[in-house]
């Protein structure tokens, strides 16, 4: 088990001194046409592990074909979700909450 740093994501202590500012992890759509893009503003993320946690939770939502997270360490990060159908705001909030972070706003 890794040491928890200030972000609370459980990543190893070695990343505690690195913010990975601007880190971007993108899952690619599976070849289906992009139907709906949803932007989610998220607070509380500080590192690549945080990005991976949010990406993993959002990818589990029904009809999601891609997730792109732009990290702004200790600021408001943006997740862009590509899905075949409109996503329920409550489901998005629950996924982000499950990852351990706070939704600031959702827009389409």
User: Average pLDDT by consecutive 10-residue portion of the chain (108 residues)?
Assistant: 55 56 61 76 96 97 96 96 96 98 97
pLDDT in the model for residue 31: 54
pLDDT in the model for residue 35: 76
Element (H, E) at 68: strand 64-70
Encoded tokens for 85: 């159908």
pLDDT in the model for residue 102: 96
Report pTM.
0.72
Report the 10 Å Cβ neighbour count for 40.
25
pLDDT in the model for residue 52: 97
Place of tokens 């040491």: 3
Q: Is residue 8 classed as helix, strand or coil in its secondary structure?
A: coil
Report the 10 Å Cβ neighbour count for 18.
13
Torsion (CA) 54, 68, 66, 44 in degrees, nearest 10: 20
């Amino acid at each position: 088990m890794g040491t928890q740093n200030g972000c609370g994501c459980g990543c190893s202590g070695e990343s505690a001194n690195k913010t990975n500012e601007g880190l971007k992890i993108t899952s690619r759509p599976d070849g289906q046409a992009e139907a709906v893009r949803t932007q989610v503003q998220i607070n509380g993320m500080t590192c690549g592990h945080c990005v991976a946690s949010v990406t993993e939770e959002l990818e589990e939502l029904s009809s999601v074909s891609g997730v792109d997270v732009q990290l702004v360490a200790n600021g408001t990060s943006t997740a862009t979700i590509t899905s075949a159908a409109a996503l329920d705001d409550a489901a998005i909030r629950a996924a982000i909450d499950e990852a351990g972070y706070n939704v600031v706003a959702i827009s389409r």
